[in-house]
Amino acid sequence: MGQLIGKVAVVTGASTERGIGNAIAQRFAREGASVFLVAEGTVEQLEKVRNECRNHPEAGRIEYGLFDLSERGAAERMIEEAARRFSRIDVLVNNAGIRAAYDFGDYTRDTFEKVVAVNLAAPFFASQAVLPIMRRQGGGRIIHIASQLGHVTYAKRALYGLTKAALIHLTKSMAYELGREGIMVNSISPGPIKTQFIIDRSAREPEEAERRLKTYVPIGRLGEPEEIADVALFLATTNAMYLQGEDICVDGGYTSH
């Protein structure tokens, strides 16, 4: 406990109940971090997450901001606001993402641009914006949340997978350029995780959900958001600075076959 006391973390996509961003924020708060929660949800959602984070005895300051990361300039404003409130940023977790499930041939340009804006442009420009802050501090950690679908394909996920594959490449490119400055950049690729979205979809299609598990996940179950949060905590706290530009698949074996 207390591995992040004195540290400040920005976590995007943090408002969804049973979401990965929520779990990461909770895990960081439990370890003593001050956390800036970011989402385009509602004040009520973010207040709930903030109160849950504050329930951890070691938690630092917990604040939040509403930002629509599909908007041009929102990622930079988010970093500026976090730095204004906390004066430093030690960990940036680019978790916010959106799905778009269409047959290839049915995507519109508007859908393409919005998915790219949130899943790729926002992490890109947030990372650029945080660089001067981390450089002044002598280092920091940037963690992108990608997906196993950045490695393998699945029906109706061409655009989503494209953005996640690009995010994994961005991870490697950033690490190559920034590692010498004490900035550790890595990504996590979750497999099927028991988020609220997956819970709701499985309830609507129980037989199909069971088929997917048996076909694609050797471990035979959905992952828990907390399992992704544990890996994020490792990347945020490890002293193994030689770990650079890696994408860690936490997918129950999804990409092993």
Domain assignment present for residue 220? The answer is no
Domain assignment present for residue 172? The answer is yes
* pLDDT value at residue 213: 82
Q: How many other β-carbons are positioned within 10 Å of the β-carbon of residue 3?
A: 16
Domain assignment present for residue 223? The answer is no
Low-confidence ranges of the chain (pLDDT < 70): none
Question: Phi and psi at residue 95, in whole multiples of 5°?
Answer: -105, -30
Domain assignment present for residue 217? The answer is no
Count of alpha carbons within 13 angstroms of residue 240, beta-carbon side: 8
* pLDDT value at residue 143: 99
Parent domain of 66: 8-191+228-249
The one-letter amino acid code at 161 reads G
* pLDDT value at residue 127: 98
Domain assignment present for residue 87? The answer is yes
Terminus-to-terminus CA distance in the chain, angstroms? 36
Residue 191, Ramachandran bin (φ over 0: left; ψ between -120 and 50: alpha; else beta): beta
34-39/62-66 β-pairing: parallel
* pLDDT value at residue 16: 87
Domain assignment present for residue 3? The answer is no
Model confidence pLDDT, tens digit, residues 68-122: 999 999 999 999 999 999 999 999 999 999 999 999 999 999 999 999 999 999 9
Annotated catalytic residues are 160
* pLDDT value at residue 198: 84
CATH code for the domain in which residue 44 is found: 3.40.50.720
Domain assignment present for residue 201? The answer is no
Domain count of the chain? 1
**pTM tops 0.85:** yes
